[in-house]
Structure 1
Amino acid sequence: MTPTISDTENRTDDRYAVGRTEPETSGRREEFDESARNATICVVGLGYVGLPLAVGFARAEYRVIGYDVDESTVERLRSGAKTTGELPIDAVHEADISFTTKATAIADAEYVIVAVPTPIDDASRPDMSYVESAARTVGSRMSAGTTVVLESTVYPGATREVFMPALEDASGLTAGEDFFVGYSPERATPGDDDHGLEDVVKVVSGQNEKVLEDVARRYESIVDAGVHRAPSIEVAEASKVVENAQRDLNIAFVNELAIAFERMDVDTRAVLEAAETKWNFHGYRPGLVGGHCIPVDPYFLAYRTSRDGFEPELVRSGRSVNESMPDYVAELTIKALNRCHKTLRESRVLVLGLAYKPNVGDIRSSKVADVVDELREYDVHVEGFDPLASEDAVRESFDLEVQDRLTFEGFDAVVLSTPHAEFERVDLEAAANELAEDPALIDVGGVLDEGDAVEAGFTYRTL
């Protein structure tokens, strides 16, 4: 059934009434009370987090409204075209979702899930403007009794400090009495088909126990892996930033090792492979750290702890190391060109892979742009190719000449920066024959075989 927009400002809700008996739950989808699926859920923000949520709830036979301020996004979704690469081709077309840019539709929902971006500003501080704007939009339209769940990554305390007050100010209602608030951090992993919405345990929280249980049961109905009930909203908020801060630090450690071992003329990957033979060694690989989570979330943690007078030196140090890696990749490229006796101002370098991670087309927050900029500082001519990224978006964002068809002809070096699966199948010998004499190959992720590259005639470098 397609949701209709109606005046429900006077709707009441006794789900969280004092003394009400809570039903038993097991966390298993098949035991969820089917009558509860009569609820209408509105997902605010239809990007790589919000759209899979909307589809998931629609598949579970909830009435679902998908709201976004971007008219082009909504038009594409109405036509059945997905706007992210995280769903099967027909998933959006088959889902019964009412897509709209009209905020008045929010009034028809008993549950509103907000999934909007939370970037950092130029000073590496959390930018909460999208969250505040979404809260004002929701607050000004929602009905009494609505439960609002924030999914955006935020610093610990932000839901109560920023999101909840904005909802109250816009609605004139009181949180915990007239409406209810929960928090469930997104765990989307773009490009990973094995860890979609249904496959990853969902952390959930609520402003009190009854809100928590109700929100948990909603997510249990769409997440096969189940949910983890956090004891507070702040714990749930902190868990998300800690997840990615930990990964950032582990990658920073191996990136620092890569720099150290390069100066020792020791094979970093051989060292890591040897170390991994011990059962409790955690395997990470050096590389560029881009994207919307790992390079951002540590700053959310650092911002919050700094407010309380504690400076997280290790977290900031890890960020510093990973932020320096584009310069280091460019340095490796320059050294390789010099080893091949190339004149830098006359050198042409082809960068393969411009997205922020393998097998996705998203170039936002890609550190490859920084590699390109640094190479240009040496007057090196740089061109790019990415089979998944929009050529127009790359030209606009990178200010880079982009190939529409992969050709190696005339280039002095190739930088394999983002190893899409397609690049792992490149015929190295054929590529070397197209390239200029004595070509260099900088395999940032170390996905190609060094022996094959050397045999094909490349000077090979990796992190």
Structure 2
Amino acid sequence: MEYSLKNKSFNLPNLDKDINIAVIGLGYVGLPLALLIDKRISKSRIIGFDIQKERIDQLNNKIDKTGLVKEKEINNFFKKSFFTYYENELEKCSIFIVCVPTPVDEHKVPNLNPLKNASEIISKAIKRSEIKGINQNIRKVIIYESTVYPGVTEEICGSLLEKKLNCKIGEKFSLGYSPERVSPSLDNQISLESIVKLTSGSDEETRKLVDKFYSLILNSKTFSTSSIKIAEAAKVVENIQRDINIALMNELSLIFRNMELDTYDVIEAASTKWNFIPFNPGLVGGHCIGVDPYYLAYAAEKYNVHTELIKSGRRINDNMAGWIARTVSKIFNANSKSISMNSVLIVGACFKRDCPDLRNSQSIILAKLLEKYGFEVEVIDYLASAFDLTSHKGICINSKPQKPNGYGIIICTVAHKKYTEWEEKDWVNLKVNEQSLIFDIENVVPRNLNPIRF
């Protein structure tokens, strides 16, 4: 279908022809996606764009600090595509895919600036293409993958583009939405190619094109929603559901701790029932589960709905580091004479297993809280160190323990594969004496050592 604007006709990009496709934001989502598009759509050139010069320089030197792609994959990408931080390289693109983060500010309010900035960069590229007469009959398609609350893609990003380009959605440009569903991990068995992709568009023709586009690059099926808002809502609900389930387990762990029951033992027993869904307690950080619920809670307020359960789940999970710190301090004080050393070793700094990412790391928050309680805290994470993540928010991160004589308290907070493979002697060697305490947040430490679990 054609859309007329000021005596000009605009057609959607033809996926069967040689076109330029831009991926905006080359982090844990954007980089693997850019490489996969390049691999699957052989006729097209992919422009991987990021505003961070350092990130582009690393990728051009075939270095990926996220650890998710190999040098060989980047080499193959360079055969017809490239990475850049120069905005003028985007003016020949017909399809733009936005993969920027959607964080919250210090008040837990959605920070949409990365999305707005990306949209503005795209609007400038489209303007330059108009001035130079590049792809002048092509209606640009802008696909957003960032997790947002319903309405952001069309009402905020779309409105910004309408204002900047002096036209309506469906004229010079149209919108698509396909939320990312990846779970970044170096040991992740769920690949981008095997994930069912939600797709949608601002009109029927764009919806079909977006669905066809992702069908071309994925081995798995796609699921096309009737509206962008439904796809936006589905994505944010996925993460809220997990957040609330973990919050329930965390609250139960508080109860069972006081009852002197092992929460993991309770979960194992409950899992024998056919319809019980097992979730484990623990620290919830990162840039998805620990953030996305605030997006829907914020949007709900606009409709005069107060989200008691969503906010309650967030409070529980946000407060877990504090509860663990108080518990550690209380038990240490009751045993301080026999332990004789207030040094703490936190095993794990990243926000999740086998992923070198420190964003919103609750292990770091725990370390800072323990320092306030007067403990001498050391944090180790071999994976973070391997990717040059040696400090975060004032906490130094080492690859291995620095005290040869051991620690009074050892706390395992992240179940990296290497730590799950440690034997009893590896944990025992960390203790300053037999009375040293081992706290096991992730159910990793051998039971024979009688770790304190939550």
Same fold, TM-score > 0.5, yes or no: yes
Q: Does 1:94 align with 2:76?
A: yes
Letter in 1 for 2:245: N
The one of 63, 71, 74 equivalent to 2:45 is 63
Residue 444 to residue 11, structure 1, CA distance change in 2 (3 Å): farther
Contact 2:262 2:453 (8 Å CA) reproduced: no
State the 1:293 CA deviation.
Answer: 0.2
Alignment match, 2:446: 449
Contact 2:37 2:217 (8 Å CA) reproduced: yes
The one of 144, 148, 151 equivalent to 1:154 is 148
Alignment match, 1:256: 251
Letter in 1 for 2:106: D
Q: Does 1:105 align with 2:99?
A: no
Alignment match, 2:349: 354
Cα RMSD after superposing both structures: 2.2
The one of 16, 24, 42 equivalent to 1:44 is 24
Q: Hey, what's the Cα distance between the residues in 1 that align with 2:97 and 2:174?
A: 12
Contact 2:199 2:207 (8 Å CA) reproduced: yes
Contact 1:344 1:379 (8 Å CA) reproduced: no
* Matches for 1:162-181 after TM superposition, within 5 Å: 162-181=156-175
* Matches for 1:346-385 after TM superposition, within 5 Å: 346-385=341-380
Q: Hey, what's the Cα distance between the residues in 2 that align with 1:430 and 1:116?
A: 40
Contact 1:354 1:386 (8 Å CA) reproduced: yes
Residue 345 to residue 429, structure 1, CA distance change in 2 (3 Å): closer
Residue 12 to residue 91, structure 1, CA distance change in 2 (3 Å): farther
Letter in 2 for 1:147: V
Letter in 2 for 1:15: L
Contact 1:56 1:222 (8 Å CA) reproduced: yes
Q: Hey, what's the Cα distance between the residues in 2 that align with 1:87 and 1:11?
A: 42
Q: Hey, what's the Cα distance between the residues in 2 that align with 1:367 and 1:37?
A: 47
- Identify which range, 146-155 or 384-393, moves more after superposition: 384-393
State the 1:322 CA deviation.
Answer: 0.5
* Matches for 1:185-224 after TM superposition, within 5 Å: 185-191=179-185, 193-224=188-219
* Matches for 1:251-330 after TM superposition, within 5 Å: 251-330=246-325
Alignment match, 2:60: 78
Contact 1:86 1:193 (8 Å CA) reproduced: no
Residue 405 to residue 433, structure 1, CA distance change in 2 (3 Å): closer
State the 1:406 CA deviation.
Answer: 3.2
State the 1:403 CA deviation.
Answer: 3.0
Contact 2:390 2:398 (8 Å CA) reproduced: no
Q: Hey, what's the Cα distance between the residues in 1 that align with 2:399 and 2:444?
A: 24
Contact 1:81 1:93 (8 Å CA) reproduced: no
Residue 53 to residue 388, structure 1, CA distance change in 2 (3 Å): same
Residue 105 to residue 346, structure 1, CA distance change in 2 (3 Å): same
Deviations 1:161-185 (A, max 9, x none): 2101111222233211121111111
State the 1:381 CA deviation.
Answer: 0.3
Residue 402 to residue 137, structure 1, CA distance change in 2 (3 Å): closer
State the 1:396 CA deviation.
Answer: 4.1
Contact 2:285 2:360 (8 Å CA) reproduced: yes
State the 1:331 CA deviation.
Answer: 2.4
Letter in 2 for 1:74: I
The one of 119, 122, 142 equivalent to 1:135 is 119
Deviations 1:221-273 (A, max 9, x none): 11111211011010011111100000000000010000001111112111111
State the 1:410 CA deviation.
Answer: 3.0
Contact 2:24 2:98 (8 Å CA) reproduced: yes
Letter in 2 for 1:305: A
Residue 434 to residue 239, structure 1, CA distance change in 2 (3 Å): closer
State the 1:400 CA deviation.
Answer: 2.5
Q: Hey, what's the Cα distance between the residues in 2 that align with 1:183 and 1:263?
A: 46
State the 1:103 CA deviation.
Answer: 0.9
Residue 247 to residue 168, structure 1, CA distance change in 2 (3 Å): same
Runs of 4+ off more than 6 Å = none
Alignment match, 1:21: none
In percent, how many aligned pairs have the same letter?
Answer: 33
Alignment match, 2:453: 462
Q: Give the secondary structure class of the aligned counterpart of 2:328.
A: helix
Q: Hey, what's the Cα distance between the residues in 2 that align with 1:394 and 1:76?
A: 15
Deviations 1:311-368 (A, max 9, x none): 0100001001101100122123223423533489950001111000011111111011
